[in-house]
Amino acid sequence: MSQVIEEKHEHRKNWFDKYYKFLMLIPIILVIISLVYIGNFYSKHNDIIFRDVSLSGGTAITLNGGSDYSHLESGLKQKYSDINFRKLTDMRTGDIMAFVIESSAESNSLKADVESILGYKLTSENSSIEFSGPSLGSNFYNQLMMALLISFILMSLVVFIMFRTFVPSIAVIFAAFSDIVIPLAIINYLGIKLSAAGIAAFLMLIGYSVDTDLLLTTRAIKNKEGFLNHRIYRAFKTGIFMTITALCAVLPAFFIITGLPDSFKQIFLILSLGLGADILNTWLTNAGIIKWYCKSHNIT
């Protein structure tokens, strides 16, 4: 019996020892692709994300209920070049719950035009109107980006204080960086317009995604019982389950909550993407770097 376990362990050891440097590259390549995509996106749009009207300035009008608004669409398109429309559907029943009109236009003129096409007044009973001035929008956006940077620096400090060694700390920080970059590229690819809450979700991702990296690094370099591969494997077993349960909490939040507020869905979409990316970043790249580091420092 013990021989079987020994052999199994041996097999696992050989397998990971053989491929870890290769495995490490997979997420790194993904990060590079994402960075190139974001860079290309920047050169096209002069920004690293699509901002919604709360961050770029403009008006969003949400009409309650699921009527047919095609005449409204065609009517408004003639006057507003940058206008776009969205339907909010109930994921369970498929019913359309609301219709969203977004434009950089000022709220009064857009509201008046919507009212004249629909033939009735917009009140707080039948609609929501959100307006953000352009200066405030970009001001908020800059501040949130600044907050993202500050939060990343603070997180890095915490990691350095915890481990007090350069390479393992950098590995954790790199994983956190990748956890932001990959979802960001996907969000851009999907053409999703980020709200303030969406950017806040990226901040949260910084804190949310590093716990598996902390687990891995602690088990690999702070604890000394058993073989290194075994410790990494044990950390993997715990960590992957952690990520799965975290996904169990955030994925239903994305699928079940329907209708407004959009901000809510966006937070959970970004957290889900980040957690998904984190599986690769932690268990391929970070584990690889830790393995390499331990080997060169004779930690077994």
Partner 1 sequence: MVLQITQYNMKLHWRIWVLIIFLMFSFLAIFVSFSPFAISAFEKGVLIKSVEKNSTEFNAGIRAGMIIKEINSKTMNEVLDYSNFISSINSDIEEQKYTIVSDKGSFIFLTDKSLTISVSSIPKTKLKTGLDLSGGARALIRPVNVTLSDAELNDLISVTSERFNVYGLKDVTIKSVKDLQGNNYMLIEIAGSTPSELESLVANQGKFEGKIGNITVFSGGKGDIAHVERAGQQAGIEGCSDVKDGAVCRFTFPITLTEESAKKHADVTSALGLDSENSEYLSEKLNLYIDDTLMDSLYISKDLKGRVTTQIAIQGSSAGLNQQEAFNEANANMKKLQTVLITGSLPYKLEILKLDTISPTLGKEFTKNLIILAVVVFAIIALALLIKYRKIKITSAVVLTMFSEAFITLGVAALIKWNLDAPAIAGIIAGMGTGVNDQIVIIDESVSNAQISLRERIKRAFFIIVGAFFTIVAAMLPLFWAGAGMLKGFALTTILSVLVGILITRPAFAEILRKIQE
Neighbours of 232 (CB within 10 A): 23
Touching partner 1, residues 177-206 (CB under 8 A): 196-197, 200-201, 203-204, 206
Q: Of 39-47, 112-120, 243-251, 277-285, which segment contacts partner 1 by CB under 8 A?
A: 243-251
How far is 48 from 41, CA to CA, in rounded Å?
6
Touching partner 1, residues 251-290 (CB under 8 A): 252-253, 256-261, 263-264, 267-268, 271
* 3-state SS assignment for residue 191: coil
Check binding of 104 to partner 1 (CB under 8 A).
no
Question: By rule CB under 8 A, what string of x and - marks binding of each residue 105-124 to partner 1?
Answer: --xx--------------xx
Taking the complex as a whole, the smallest distance from the CB of residue 21 to partner 1 amounts, in Å, to 26
Q: Of 4-12, 36-44, 126-134, 184-192, which segment contacts partner 1 by CB under 8 A?
A: 126-134
In this chain, which of 31, 144, 186, 279 binds partner 1, going by CB under 8 A?
Answer: 144
Neighbours of 181 (CB within 10 A): 20
Please compute Rg for the chain using Cα positions. Answer: 24
Contact between 23 and 17 under an 8 Å Cβ cutoff? The reply is no
Number of residues that bind partner 1 (CB under 8 A): 77
In this chain, which of 4, 70, 93, 225 binds partner 1, going by CB under 8 A?
Answer: 225
Nearer to partner 1, 69 or 268 (CB): 268
* 3-state SS assignment for residue 174: helix
**Residue 75 identity:** G
Q: Which residue has the tokens 């398109």?
A: 77
Touching partner 1, residues 56-75 (CB under 8 A): 62, 64
Taking the complex as a whole, the smallest distance from the CB of residue 25 to partner 1 amounts, in Å, to 26
Q: How far is CA 200 from CA 156, 194, 195, 270, in A?
A: 18, 10, 9, 10
Taking the complex as a whole, the smallest distance from the CB of residue 78 to partner 1 amounts, in Å, to 26
How far is 84 from 68, CA to CA, in rounded Å?
16
